[in-house]
Structure 1
Amino acid sequence: MAYDRYVAICKPLHYGTIMGSRACVRMAAVAWASGFLNGLLHTVNTFSIPLCQGNRVDQFFCEIPQILRLSCSDSYLREVGLILVNACLLFGCFIFIVLSYVQIFTAVLRIPSEQGRHKAFSMCLPHLVVVSLTVITVMFAYLKPPSISSPAEDLVVAVLYAVVPPTLNPLVYSMRNKELKDALRKVISWTFFSSGNIDIALHK
């Protein structure tokens, strides 16, 4: 998404050539294949770890750090190593996104018209919101000290990064759609005005 925004804003005349259907298919295939391979490696590793503290995790899904807490052998070090490799890859992706947006904002600030700047910012904002929400919650979940950790807090944070971003994605990415904005405005106005009318009727 960051690369798509970068090409669209920094190289608009070459967008059709760079971001053709073949390039999009390749990027999607790499993302899906790497996600599948990553999940497979984690699954194989976690299933090979012997558990000696029961098999109950205080989560609504089998989160890897929660499973590692149940292990009492040194075999979990493979999984820790895999998590560190993933962290390095994610950090590399994060740096790529940051560098892309630095170049995007540098190009946007050079746009002379205010309308052009507003259009460019509105195109980038949804992606930035989703990425920021995911990164902040994941960092809080995995980098907070164990001393401030509690099962209830871990559950809330896990819901935030595992459920909220995917749920909000369609809404956030559709906010530039005029029909959706009009429908949302109607729903909000109908909700407030109808509740106001009900209150007036009750007072009468």
Structure 2
Amino acid sequence: GTRVPLEIVLMEKVGSGCHSIIQLLDWFELPDSFVLVLERPERSRDLLELLQEQQFLSEEAARWLFRQVLEAVWHCTACGVWHGDIKAENLLVDPHSGSLKLIDFGCGTFFRGDACREFAGTYMYSPPEWICLGYYREEPATVWSLGMLLYVMVCGCFPFQDDHDIVLGQLFFWQQVSPECQHLIRWCLGKHPADRAKLEDILRHPWVWG
């Protein structure tokens, strides 16, 4: 038969063990495609849509959502799955309850741990080592995308506009961003992968549990 798309394999591997990840309920094959049956969270909208309305989030709201993203990423990592495209558009949020779901594993792979030489994710979230060297490793690239996401949440815009900005790595904040939040974002967006936080560092960071 036809080879099952990797997206389905990854979602089955992640399973139903994390409420912050969209659940694959079923799938079936058509003559020319595959159909995925996913849970449908009521009232949810993607985070980008919410940000376009509100411009940016309070740190309290951002913290609540960011914790859920970390939970989803941690679960994926424990399952050996790399999502590969963490961004506001891939996060469904229920504006009433604040519950969040990570969606779209279409750019994902299994963790390999060695250098990756293809980048299927969203270019604006690509790390500087990919731009400069043409390769990256999964965990530092994930941490970079988490830093980008948190900046977008609390500032309402991207920190960098083009390749030059990404490689230069200069960050500017609005005054309403607390020193603790700025510290976490700067740590995630370290220019060199070795200077970046690890996932466990982010999970233990004072701002996340403030």
Same fold (TM over 0.5): no
Larger Rg: 1
Higher relative CO (Cα under 8 Å, sequence separation at least 6) belongs to 1
The normalised TM-score by structure 1 is 0.26
Looking at secondary structure, tell me which structure has more helix per residue: 1
Looking at secondary structure, tell me which structure has more strand per residue: 2
The normalised TM-score by structure 2 is 0.26
